[in-house]
Amino acid sequence: MLAICTLTFVSACSDTQSGGGSAAGSAPAALTAKDLQLASLSRLDLPSTYELRGEGRALEWAREPAKADVPDCQPMADIFSTSPQVARRARTGQEMYDFGGGRADWYHVYLDAYGSEKEAHEVLETLRSAVDKCSRFNIVGDWELGLVSKVLAPAVKDESMAFRCGRWAFTVARTGTVLAVFVEQDTSERGAPGEVSPTLVKAQLSKLREAIAQR
């Protein structure tokens, strides 16, 4: 399915828990796919160096179940799975490129809605724990995955974590009941290590907060 991903996957996860938002307490009705679409970035929300490609390929990447060959690593595989261990209430995805600074950063950005803040928090914590436990892993039948390393997560209002897989980088940030998942690879000839743009994270979380406030 993903020939480009037969690169060594070096995942890295930050232990940084950013922000002081509480994961406890009751939440309003879970966001729907329509809500998440309204919260997704448009061209007007992005710097001029970005090229938005829409939903297609981002959701194609995550159109099938994904199984890690090591059970402890399954939360990492769940990022791309249609049948994660904790079911999402809704998901949207976008594909985009950032051609700024001599790079060619290829992004998939997912918004995953859960039934409560507690549930979203637990999914994030399970992913954090998996990256701590898994020094390397494979996704059965699709990707040859490699060594796991940790990177610093961006500071956000609620909480976040980040990890790197070879030339790929992942950032996951929680805003209320929603996890925003950023997947990035530098596809330029220089092949720099993956790095998720803090500017992109800030823009997406800001629009997500606005969409939640308007419900």
Residue 6 per-residue DSSP state: G
Q: Is residue 133 part of a domain?
A: no
Q: Is residue 73 part of a domain?
A: no
Residue 24 has pLDDT above 50, yes or no: no
Q: Is residue 124 part of a domain?
A: no
Sign for the CA dihedral angle at 85, 27, 176, 203 comes to positive
How does pLDDT run across 85-144, given as a tens digit for each residue?
A: 899 999 999 999 999 877 888 899 999 999 999 999 999 999 999 989 888 767 777 666
- 3-state DSSP call for residue 83? coil
pTM of the model: 0.83
Q: Measured between alpha carbons, how far is 59 from 38 in angstroms, rounded to an integer?
A: 17
* Of residues 50, 46, 187, the one with CA closest to residue 106: 187
Range of the domain at 179: 7-60+85-118+149-158+169-213
Q: What is the number of structural domains in the chain? A: 1
- Residue 32 has a pLDDT of 93
Residue % of the chain over a pLDDT of 70? 77
Q: What is the mean pLDDT of the chain?
A: 80
Q: Is residue 75 part of a domain?
A: no
Q: What are phi and psi of 99, to 5 degrees?
A: -100, 20
How does pLDDT run across 181-191, given as a tens digit for each residue?
A: 999 987 877 66
